[in-house]
Amino acid sequence: MQRIVFVRTALFFALAAGVALLVARMLHIDLGGLWVVLSAVTMLKPNVTDSFAIARNQVFGTTVGVCSGAVCGLMHQTIPSVALAVFLTSLICSIPNLRPTANIACVAAALVILLPAGNPGYLTAYHRVIDTIIGALIALAVAEFAARTYRWWPAGLSPEGM
């Protein structure tokens, strides 16, 4: 029974990744849709409620991080820009409601500076937030599909760390 659960889990992760990449390609999203795929897969949880909580945190975290990254990226000095962006982002995320977003926010801040895809920082920041929202919507749709299609991750058989 547990193997079936892991196979179903793998199928839903594959579905989320495939749909995310398809949507990203259809929308001509930069970086080959990388951020959309990563967002969809990392936000997918066994049920819509858990997926929504993760999605909310990732969207907030990404928004905070890309704003810091875009502002600090104006320095045109990569190492100090990344260090300052991560530092400021971490400070902002010390606000109690933002604490769960700190990791993704710091990653987003660094990526806006390190992976600008030939765009100005503010445009890269905008794209990362939109990509995260698209990934979140896909994760929520797949979680809802999984809940309606199967009894996904029954009690006692839930894979650890998901």
What gap in Å lies between CA 105 and CA 58, rounded to an integer? 8
Residues ≥6 apart with Cβ < 8 Å to 89:
64, 65, 68, 69, 102, 105, 106, 108, 109
Q: Which of 33-42, 89-98, 108-117, 126-135 shows the lowest per-residue confidence on average (mean pLDDT)?
A: 108-117
Calpha distance 20→8 (Å, rounded): 18
Domains held by the chain: number: 1
Q: Is 21 left (phi over 0), alpha (psi -120 to 50) or beta?
A: alpha
Domain that holds residue 18: 2-149
Q: Is residue 132 part of a domain?
A: yes
Q: Is residue 6 part of a domain?
A: yes
pLDDT recorded at residue 161:
43
pLDDT single digits (tens) 105-115:
999 999 888 88
Report the alpha-carbon distance of residue 39 to residue 42 in Å, rounded. Answer: 5
